[in-house]
Amino acid sequence: MKTSRSTLAVIIAAIALLLVILPIMSACTPATTAVVKTLKVGIITPTTGPAAEKGAAMGHANLDAIEYINTELGGVAGYKIEPLWFDSTYDAAKVVTIVKRLMDDGALIFTVAASKEMAAAMESANRAEFPGICCFSAPQLYRPPKHIYGQTPDYGDNWGAFANYYMKNIWKGTGKPKMALHLLNNPTGAGARDAAKAAADKLGIEIISIDEHSATTTSEIESLTRLKAKNPDVLFISSTPAPTSVIIKNAKALGMYPGITIGCGSASFTKALIDLGGASTVEGVYGVSATVNWQDNAPGIAKMTEYCKKLHPQDYGNMDYIGSWAQSLIVAEILKTAVTNAGYDVLAKGNVESWRAIETQGIQKLKNYDVAGLHGPVSYTVGDNRLSKSLRLFQIKNGAITAISDWVEAPLIKYEEFDWFGK
């Protein structure tokens, strides 16, 4: 069968076109796409559930800071951070499942917002040598020290800082002031309780009662009525914003406040407390925080403010946002240090060898990292898994959280040396 000249011309033209197209298609195939090398970080926050007034802003801050690091700083040591974020809903059982998944997925380190989350995570994480950092922590999480680290001083340190300030600057009576504790029924409250057990007598404070409440409490009139009969001088609350606001509103309704002094641990002392309790109700309340506030002239405030207002403007003014933004900066510094000292190939394995490198060549090499001035300098000290040791005292004045002290360093307490600790 003969082929016409016109048909042959069409065939030749088609072959020529294929010769042009095939190299282009080959260059675009997935097989030749470069593999993106990242550093995986697990992030757990209670974005929904009974602690959402804290957790939502904290999750936003973690991810916003990583966006800043990846976009403007080019990641760390040339590698982008890949966040593996999960909402715990403040549920301990979910945390255990999430931590297992993070280990399976090759995360190098994980962070949590809350001590309750870390209390659930620590057993499996310590057993696997999977390092974790807790923004708000309690002594039971890292005494004795293992593989869990506190970003800042813990709830026991909060109580100690407030108690010292109270004795030096507020108490004007004779004898021992009578202090009552109202504590969230998880590590947030237990940390303050343990510190009071360890140090109240030495400070000259009489602890007259210890009450507990849940994260979902809607009234503490009954417990406060019993407490009022004991005529306390000072009430210390270690809790989250929602229940703390309930307790202060109830104390005002019972005529206890103003009158007694009220101090709060760092977990509740944020803008959410003012929003939930009402500015006039919480006016004059004292609190402890490990971070600067939004009005401070710290080097990192401007960039953090830029991202917050651009991505999550509803969080502006919330001090919890500051803590979690700083947490992601610390994680970036740890990753950069570990890559420099151990090499990317070791970290890329995402296994126990990688986790050991993160600890020994990253976390434990930290020395006076200033976190853009957002809280005290970060250093690892042998035998002390608190990465920052600095706190400040604040008071709500004219509806705003206002600093009333310089930075104070929280001394190390070796709680495990007390026979009652952990029981």
Q: Delimit the domains of the chain by residue range.
A: 38-153+297-388, 156-289+411-417
What local confidence, expressed as pLDDT, does residue 368 receive?
A: 97
What local confidence, expressed as pLDDT, does residue 6 receive?
A: 52
**Fold category of 156-289+411-417 in CATH:** Rossmann fold (3.40.50)
Fold match flag (38-153+297-388 vs 156-289+411-417): yes
pLDDT in tens, 180-200: 999 999 999 999 999 999 999
What local confidence, expressed as pLDDT, does residue 54 receive?
A: 95
Q: Is 254 exposed, middle or buried (0-12, 13-18, 19+ CB in 10 A)?
A: middle
pTM of the model: 0.88
Here the tokens at position 61 are 């801050």
SS3 content of the chain, % helix, strand, coil (to 5): 50, 20, 35
Residue 402's H or E segment, with its range, is strand 400-403
What local confidence, expressed as pLDDT, does residue 25 receive?
A: 45
Here the tokens at position 260 are 């007694």
Mean pLDDT by 10 residues, the chain (423 residues): 49 47 47 74 98 96 98 97 98 98 98 97 98 97 97 98 97 96 97 97 97 98 98 98 98 98 96 97 98 94 98 96 98 98 97 98 98 97 97 97 95 95 89
| Sheet with 38-45, side-by-side order of all strands | 80-87, 38-45, 109-112, 132-134, 148-150
- The alpha carbon of residue 89 and the mean position of all alpha carbons in its chain are separated, in whole angstroms, by 15
What local confidence, expressed as pLDDT, does residue 36 receive?
A: 80
Pairing of strands 390-397, 286-289: antiparallel
Nearest to 339 by CA among 74, 42, 39, 36: 39
CATH code of domain 38-153+297-388: 3.40.50.2300
Half-sphere exposure (Cβ direction) of 263: Cα atoms closer than 13 Å: 28
What local confidence, expressed as pLDDT, does residue 33 receive?
A: 53
